[in-house]
Chain A
């Protein structure tokens, strides 16, 4: 059985333009920001796959590449066995009905000059939907819990709260009945007490409409609640990937271990202990040779400085990119 989404060797480099003068006199090669560097994973049907990492690790870029909101430098993304990176513009636009995205910032992801009703109607209009528009819009609002509908249809986004706006964003993403949704930090800008509502909604909708999610977040504890499997990214590469519960209970990669150690607990009796990491995240344009993590790793040895470790399968479904200790 093939997965719904198969990402293979996805790469996205951003060229760094050298200044005019250093180009004249330096003669150096142009530098690159290697935002996403050879990333591969798959998402099955009815699965929530998480990508976790700190800022600058490339998780948002990966999410946008997966639905081709950005053009990749190289690599393929197979949706139902078709490489979407090779589709022409017309076919791609038609396919977009099946792969959607929910953005992080509910205060900027809705057109401030459109009414809520029009925001939800837009995908239908663009994709040439011929059925009963009003009924579809009404159903979408009901599904995300924005009832009574009349209170929301003819309002502007600025008249709604952050949580309500995010629900509108979800309604808009789902109105075309997609199979795959990228959720880029969907609740990180919402209050704590509202997050559960949105997350539970997303999980319910997954079961109801047979959806799969790519759930991007920096919060490992949220990933634990929501994701079935996850991948942890560092400086553009996946360092560990596998079932959520296994990874959090028994992390293998030193970076994942450090992440887990750094997260505070809401139990005041449990304090953060020593974190097995040193130094700061290097600049994205100046990535260390060999294993990207080696300057900060407490277990680094000679091979780590020279050769980049490949992502190997160490157990069924569990992958780690680390030289054998």
Chain B
């Protein structure tokens, strides 16, 4: 790992959504994360685990009822949580970190030409003329493998894969250092998905980008991410290099999750699954969040929350991690 300070450093982040009756949904509950320059980190988890909320918190585009109750986010030296909207927009958003949001293909305005939308994004964050912005859009199109003569098309004239490429172009518009991609390939067909993954990998290498890939699909993380963090019920349960975590999973959730993935290669086997459902983030019970569904849970697990410990290069939050070697 590089000795320089990380590009993105999240420490003890707590972000809860507040309901009308003043109770809190603990979407992000004490998270530590860091990404160095040129690193790709995959944030994996199932629906409701809080991973998308992290993406929104980093780029500062949270809904009104989201409240940050603790922790800090350092992005390229800026303390994001303490900046005002103006500074965020001028210096941080899109220039240091940009986001490819979930269902990005419907994030495009259907009545504005795609080229114009990207140009607007550029002019919002940089002081350039319209002409310069349009020129940049053409170069961006070429960068992502789109025909640069088609910047005047509308989104319905593009296929799903092409729209996703436009969103990637938009995310790269102001030369960010970090790109946060929230489920970039989930809604795409298999072959298009492979092409987009290749494109992301290619761009990352060429532009020396850092990537935070948020997805529930562990296979795509295996494909392009160096490191991975597994989330469950608002907490990170395991973290480490993708190789290490996938080949030697230490947390029972990670293990079960990996075993529930059907693979094309290899023997035909019965799929494993995890019975039950994720816990209610409104009022989590004491102890390890995964205990109710964990096949190896003990009394300790149900009473005390496990600390994050490091074993052979991976960090795990499990009381019994060392026993499963």
Interface residues of A (CB under 8 A from B): 54-55, 161-164, 191-197, 199-200, 218-222, 224-225, 244-245, 248, 258-272, 275, 277, 280-281
Contacts and interface: CB of A to CB of B under 8 A. Distances in A.
B194 interface: yes
A42 to B, nearest CB: 22
B216 A264 contact: no
Contacts of A193: 46, 256-257, 260, 273-274
5 contacts: A193-B46, A200-B273, A224-B262, A224-B268, A265-B263
A221 B262 CA distance: 6
Contacts of B222: 264-268
B112 interface: no
A162 B274 CA distance: 14
Chain B, interface size category, equals 35 or more
A26 B277 CA distance: 58
B288 interface: no
Contacts of B258: 266
A191 B48 CA distance: 10
Contacts of A269: 243
B47 interface: yes
Interface string B27-46: 00000000000000000001
Contact of B190 (A164, A192, A259): A259
A299 B241 CA distance: 40
Contacts of A265: 219, 222-223, 263-265
Interface string B240-257: 001100110000000011
B275 interface: yes
Interface in B262-281: 262-265, 268-275, 277
**Which 6 residue pairs of A and B lie closest in terms of their CB atoms, listed nearest first?**
A196-B273, A196-B271, A262-B194, A54-B189, A197-B273, A191-B46
Contacts of A268: 222-223, 242-243, 246-247
Contacts of A55: 160, 189
Nearest to A189: B47
A266 B261 contact: yes
A244 B268 CA distance: 10
B194 A219 contact: no
Contacts of B275: 197
Contact of B47 (A191, A195, A225, A281): A191
A277 B271 CA distance: 30
Contact of A248 (B47, B189, B218, B264): B264
A261 B264 CA distance: 10
A259 B269 contact: no
Contact of A281 (B189, B198, B257): B189
Contacts of A258: 191
B44 to A, nearest CB: 10
A191 B215 CA distance: 11
Interface in B45-78: 46-47
Given A194-B274, A195-B273, A225 B159 contact: no
Contacts of A259: 190-191
A263 B260 contact: no
A197 B256 CA distance: 12
Contacts of B268: 224-225, 244-245
Contacts of B164: none
Contacts of A245: 268
Contacts of B220: 264
B194 A221 contact: no
A275 B197 contact: no
Given A54-B191, A196-B271, A245-B268, A225 B262 contact: yes
A193 B270 CA distance: 13
B117 interface: no
Contacts of A277: 191
A194 B274 CA distance: 6
Contact of B264 (A163, A197, A224): A224
A271 B217 CA distance: 15
Contacts of B265: 265, 270
A157 to B, nearest CB: 15
Nearest to A269: B243
B78 to A, nearest CB: 32
B260 A262 contact: no
B176 interface: no
Contacts of B272: 196
B193 interface: yes
Interface in B137-181: 159-162
Contacts of B218: 192, 266
Nearest to A194: B273
Interface string B206-248: 0000000000111110110000000000000000001100110
A161 B161 CA distance: 31
A245 B269 CA distance: 12
A261 B194 CA distance: 9
A60 to B, nearest CB: 14
A222 B262 contact: yes
Nearest to A160: B277
B260 A195 contact: yes
